[in-house]
Amino acid sequence: MPATTPAHDQAAGPLEAVPPKPEHEVGQLTTAELARERSTLEAALEEPFPAGITKILQGRLDAVRAEQDERARMRQAS
């Protein structure tokens, strides 16, 4: 087993907690999948990630929220 430094162990731990991107684009997710993705991303953003990772996760969350808002507007319009 190779020796690792404590800094490497700390960096690898949080990065493993980054939720994977969904298999499909946000617009192709079902309503339930969107809700799960939003919940997953909101929980992930409570974790202490480096600023770059946090920005990526926030962008993904913004896209999910925008899709949910768009679908809500479409339901109200019909």
> pLDDT digit string (tens) for 27-57?
999 999 999 999 999 999 999 999 999 999 9
Q: Is residue 66 predicted with pLDDT exceeding 80?
A: yes
> pLDDT digit string (tens) for 11-23?
446 678 899 999 9
The structure's pTM equals 0.79
- 10 Å CB burial of residue 49 (0-12, 13-18, 19+) is middle
* pLDDT of the residue at 74: 95
What are the residue boundaries of the structural domains of the chain, listed by start? 26-77
Closest CA to 45 of 33, 37, 36, 57: 57
